[in-house]
Amino acid sequence: MKIFQHVQDIGDLGQALAEAQEVKRDRFQWQYLGRNKTALLIFFNNSLRTRLSTQKAALNLGMNVIVLDVNHGAWKLETEHGVIMDGDKSEHLLEAIPVMASYCDLIGVRSFARFESREDDYEEKILNQFIRYSGRPVFFMESATVHPLQAFADLITIEEAWERRVVSPETMSPGASPRPKVVLTWAPHPKALPQAVPNSFVEWMVAAAAQSLPLGGVGGGLDFVITHPEGYELDPQFAGGAHVEYDQMKAFEGADFVYAKNWSCPGVTRPGDYGKVLDDYHKMMDWTVSARQMAVTNDAHFMHCLPVRRNMIVTDDVIEGPRSLVIPEAANREISAQVVLKRMLESL
Ligand code: CP
């Protein structure tokens, strides 16, 4: 694997999930792969989970790890071509990338959407320069449009929880479908957030449905529904073919998994509003996931990628409740990262 950006880069999802379980059984068995190899993790933005889980995954594989926070201690980087560099940016990305690449074997990059231009964000202007000029395998640690390490961890978490559910008949209601119903719901937030997490989650769920992925060892695929207020339609390159239900309560009916996330306007149906919060969040608080919505689900598990703003996205009782999967979901970030790094090491 030379690039990890989209669900297609991981190939067959059943195989990827099997590999994730193999990693879980003994995560240190491939230390020979990473011997004398270095992973460089470059952060243009803050992180807790991605920073720690990816380092841990690389260490599990016997690698050395270098972490660079571009905005803390490195020279400020210019990313635009052709500009006269007479401002506060001392170094251009076009020199910095090959220099950084000379010190490592694999590169992970986190660089969020800037919301200055939809075109620049959706063309992945920053990450594509790393792919083009580094000569190294590049994995996306949340870019302007995708967060595949998160989506892979989410899929692992759904598969594990569904397996526990289908093997325990007492937790399955009579006549229940062996295909889980998974709902992605928009939830309110005071600030404009990127679309990377929902884009990737949708992309991976659509692929799992298309591949009729047997979850929990039974059935084929899943039923997937997206719910959000009008104006927040996700880009069709990710959400094409997914069912959208604008009535949140209707979407939640019979759900087995509820995945909550805020995202700003993707500019699909409202091109002039790209990256904006469309309505004052005070008016949108009935979208906060609470016991009211969870009551119409099939005792659904609650999921969120974290960090989460409590009592904005989800109420305390739901996130602290017995159906919350937010901690195992975060723990699975180590596993998804390890599968990806292992495949990249195997392809060097
Ligand atoms: N979910 C996630 O990527 O968390 P961090 O932003 O803390 O890395």
Tell me, yes or no, whether 219 and 260 share the same domain: yes
> CA 49, CA 97: separation in Å to the nearest integer?
24
Band of residue 220 on the pLDDT scale cut at 50, 70, 90: confident
Q: How far is the CA of 174 from the centre of ligand 1 (A)?
A: 38
Q: Are 10 and 18 contacting, i.e. CB atoms less than 8 angstroms apart?
A: no
Q: What is the DSSP string of 68-122?
A: EETTTTSPPEE-STT----SS--EEHHHHHHHHHTT-SEEEEE----SS-HHHHH
Tell me, yes or no, whether 90 and 192 share the same domain: no
Report the pLDDT averaged over residues 4-15.
97
**Residue located via tokens 């596993």:** 335
Tell me, yes or no, whether 87 and 172 share the same domain: no
Report the pLDDT averaged over residues 267-291.
97
CB of 305 closer than 6 A to ligand 1? yes
pTM recorded for the entire structure:
0.97
CB of 50 closer than 6 A to ligand 1? yes
Domain that holds residue 174: 150-330
Report the pLDDT averaged over residues 268-291.
97
Buried b (16+ CB within 10 A) or exposed e, 128-137: ebbbebbebb
Q: Give the pLDDT confidence score for residue 172 in this predicted structure.
A: 63
Tell me, yes or no, whether 312 and 165 share the same domain: yes
Tell me, yes or no, whether 186 and 41 share the same domain: no
**In the chain, % of residues over pLDDT 90:** 91
Tell me, yes or no, whether 34 and 90 share the same domain: yes
The neighbouring-strand residues paired with 227 are 185
CB of 256 closer than 6 A to ligand 1? no
Tell me, yes or no, whether 96 and 210 share the same domain: no
Q: Single out the residue of 66, 61, 96 nearest to residue 78, CA to CA.
A: 96
For the chain, what is the domain count? 2
The neighbouring-strand residues paired with 301 are 257
> CA 42, CA 106: separation in Å to the nearest integer?
11
Give the three-state DSSP class for 260: strand
Cis peptide before 307 (omega within 30 of 0): yes
Tell me, yes or no, whether 14 and 127 share the same domain: yes
Band of residue 166 on the pLDDT scale cut at 50, 70, 90: confident
Tell me, yes or no, whether 93 and 134 share the same domain: yes
**Phi and psi, residue 109, nearest 5°:** -130, 135
Tell me, yes or no, whether 140 and 171 share the same domain: no
100, pLDDT greater than 90: yes
Q: Give the pLDDT confidence score for residue 200 in this predicted structure.
A: 98
Tell me, yes or no, whether 179 and 281 share the same domain: yes
Ligand 1 atom at minimal distance to the Cα of residue 50: 8
Ligand 1 atom at minimal distance to the Cα of residue 45: 6
Tell me, yes or no, whether 117 and 209 share the same domain: no
CB of 49 closer than 6 A to ligand 1? yes
**Phi and psi, residue 235, nearest 5°:** -60, 135
Q: What is the DSSP string of 175-216?
A: T--SSPEEEEEE---SS---SHHHHHHHHHHHHHHHTT--BT
> CA 262, CA 284: separation in Å to the nearest integer?
11
CB of 304 closer than 6 A to ligand 1? no
Say which residue, 175 or 41, is predicted with more confidence.
41
> Which residue's alpha carbon is nearest to atom 1 within ligand 1?
305
CB of 143 closer than 6 A to ligand 1? no
Looking at mean pLDDT, say which of 168-182, 206-220, 247-261 comes out highest.
Answer: 247-261
Report the pLDDT averaged over residues 160-177.
72
> CA 259, CA 151: separation in Å to the nearest integer?
11
Q: Are 314 and 290 contacting, i.e. CB atoms less than 8 angstroms apart?
A: yes
Report the pLDDT averaged over residues 177-203.
95
Q: How far is the CA of 108 from the centre of ligand 1 (A)?
A: 14
> CA 142, CA 125: separation in Å to the nearest integer?
13
> CA 62, CA 35: separation in Å to the nearest integer?
5
Tens digits of per-residue pLDDT, 61-80?
A: 999 999 999 989 899 999 99
Report the pLDDT averaged over residues 52-60.
98
Residue at 283: amino acid letter: K
Q: Give the pLDDT confidence score for residue 173 in this predicted structure.
A: 64
CATH of the domain at 48: 3.40.50.1370
Residues 6+ apart with CB under 8 A from 56: 334, 337
Beta strand segments in 14-53, E: 38-43
